[in-house]
Chain A
């Protein structure tokens, strides 16, 4: 006796894009309804902005002023120095890729891709001329060169850190030049601008505030009441004041109260240097609190043990406490760098020409660009986002690599 086989329907697809849509968006009637409503809402909300973004936006205000956004008023004859500076960073990035791998590899590769994209960006040659494109295109090769170099010769990680530090000083010197150097005429601080000034302000701010912050943090924990009180007062005073107030103070009040015609003139008479001072002081106070957090994380037993081994107080701090404390606060310092990068945009309010100041000047100073506010500010937001996102990515990877979260 035979029974006719039951004919089964084909099974419901649960894999692939259609399956995903079915299980996640239309699993029940309510979900299906919600999906339709949300899609309709998104359509009505986003349609005007997307239409504007893809059809109406006029990017000429950005593309015609690329040089201004990048370096501000940096003299055209000296632009090769900026090119060399970027190449130096690329070379070191290549070396770091090989030596440190990990996050350095991601950055070197991403940097290479971005440089290639920039060199071939489909803009007219008026916006980005052949010479500039060649300078940009050299970078991926230099990154590769650095990588190969580190394969051929052995570069210890410690040496690489020294190289980065030396490059930092070299870069500052190259950008500024000097009256007595043939071939490197002085570039005045007011000629530093655009994205270059934004990056310089935040990097110099972090680097210069690091030793200050460590000193303040150690000082705050000092057993000498005068030192500890001074450091606490300094930190709390600076942290209690918004950065913009500090900037106004250094710009307007400092020249009136500090003596003129002394060796301090390079700060007192220079608006850009005064902004550097304000940002460094501001950043040092926050750095001090970050470092203090790290100092407190070092168990007291270690200090006692070190003392029992006969180390003096200075050596205990230098060899036992600081290395552990600083290792613990690296992610926090990167976080601070991100905040500082965004905070530097406040210098536009005191008429410094960082990338935001340049954007303002372009919109307000030129009748033809006055209608392009949205485009310019959207461009600025995108630039800031790229930098801050890549730094926060680096911070997360560093955290994993250092195992900070796991101890």
Chain B
């Protein structure tokens, strides 16, 4: 009698297992195989093999930050951070759409990359020393941001140091809030904060006049400002009170993959420096500039045996997303899709900015 009951239990469990397996559909690409098969000869990068075997790059991103990661009305995930992932996908597959973007929350960034669940983390991550040692390898700074203040023009403030005794709207539990407290204490200024849980409420409260100023990363302040009914009634003060170098991250322990991602980022930056754009990349292959010819795989071995990429990977990258400047302008340039933010420190080093990449050779 009891045996029969156990049989019934067992068969029910089997049914459940089948249903669960059915939900899974065809996503059963076993990741483990290639790792074993390719054990000899030593692969350039285990991660690269896994990605190539899977047929797409998995990238942790976001869908709720204007300019960096958002959904357009067709449901396509786009933005500055997402285009960096697209560039890596194009380098590997020749197709920028061989990409799956997985939206994650801020608190999941560390665990997700540590567990190797995604290939690249490109979700507005500030590079700090602690995160570098704990989370993974930080590739190349792709966006120099910093915390600033926005105030209504009518209050007549010219500098953050004038903000003594004002009320500031800020999101709770972020480094933004801590930086704000640090800055006011450092300069012996009186401060009253109005704290909100999410960014939307912060800017709603600011626009409604609940506080004299609001603070966030400057790129975000620019985004907020352009969303106001009268953007010119607000100014972003010149002071930058923190350093926020935004950087794509890969997991610890796979140097080949780390090098590959870095190189793709350097291609984007060097392409702008060399004047190679989405529109002229095919023409530029016929260029007599030896540096361009080397980057685009017309001559030399760049990126092939050491990174495991095709000779023309840089051509694919630039065809897919354009160079660094084109990505920037697409979302944040003068006619940017999301908002307009002067490049300032995100200019190339040749134009007085900080964006600089090692030579490709």
Contacts and interface: CB of A to CB of B under 8 A. Distances in A.
Question: Does B bind A?
Answer: yes
Contacts of B63: 351, 353, 357, 361, 365
B4 A314 contact: yes
Contacts of A318: 8
Nearest to A248: B107
Nearest to A71: B75
Nearest to A74: B75
Nearest to B24: A266
B161 interface: no
Given A188-B100, A371-B227, A373-B200, A177 B25 contact: yes
A366 B66 contact: yes
A65 interface: yes
A40 B102 CA distance: 52
B116 A271 contact: no
A353 B103 contact: yes
Nearest to A352: B103
Contacts of B24: 176, 266, 273
Contacts of A382: none
B203 A370 contact: yes
Interface stretch (B27-35, B84-92, B133-141, B273-281): B27-35
A396 interface: no
A185 B176 CA distance: 44
Interface stretch (B15-23, B233-241, B256-264, B319-327): B15-23
Contacts of B107: 252
A260 B116 CA distance: 9
Interface stretch (A84-92, A207-215, A289-297, A332-340): A207-215
A186 to B, nearest CB: 5
B224 interface: yes
Nearest to B116: A260
A179 interface: yes
Contacts of B146: none
Given A177-B26, A190-B100, A373-B200, A72 B108 contact: no
Contacts of A317: 5
A212 B25 contact: no
Given A178-B25, A266-B27, A269-B117, A73 B200 contact: no
A347 to B, nearest CB: 11
Contact of A373 (B77, B114, B204): B204
Contacts of A360: 64
Contacts, number: 160
Interface string A36-79: 00000000000000000000000000001101100111101000
A270 interface: yes
Contacts of B75: 67-68, 71-74, 76, 193
A169 interface: yes
B199 to A, nearest CB: 6
Given A73-B77, A176-B23, A370-B224, A313 B5 contact: yes
Contact of B70 (A260, A357, A361): A361
Interface string A175-215: 01111110000111110010000000000100010011001
B16 A211 contact: yes
Given A65-B73, A255-B111, A208 B102 contact: no
A119 interface: no
Given A256-B114, A265-B31, A313 B200 contact: no
A285 interface: no
What is the interface of chain A mostly: helix, strand, loop, or mixed? helix
A74 B35 CA distance: 31
B307 interface: no
Contacts of A300: none
Contacts of B104: 271, 351
A173 B23 CA distance: 7
Contacts of A251: 108
A180 B73 contact: no
B360 interface: no
Given A173-B22, A261-B31, A266-B24, A73 B71 contact: yes
B1 interface: yes
Contacts of B73: 64-65, 67-68
Interface in A350-365: 350-353, 357-358, 360-365
Contacts of B200: 363-364, 370, 373
Interface string B71-84: 10111110100000
A245 interface: no
Contacts of B5: 313-314, 317
Nearest to A219: B9
A367 B16 contact: no
Contacts of A169: 19, 22
Contacts of A64: 73
Given A67-B74, A172-B23, A365-B66, A215 B111 contact: no
A239 to B, nearest CB: 21
A314 B23 contact: no
A304 interface: no
Contacts of A351: 62-63, 103-105, 108
B198 to A, nearest CB: 8
17 contacts: A72-B75, A76-B75, A169-B19, A169-B22, A176-B23, A176-B26, A178-B25, A186-B26, A215-B9, A253-B111, A256-B111, A265-B30, A269-B31, A351-B103, A357-B103, A365-B65, A367-B223
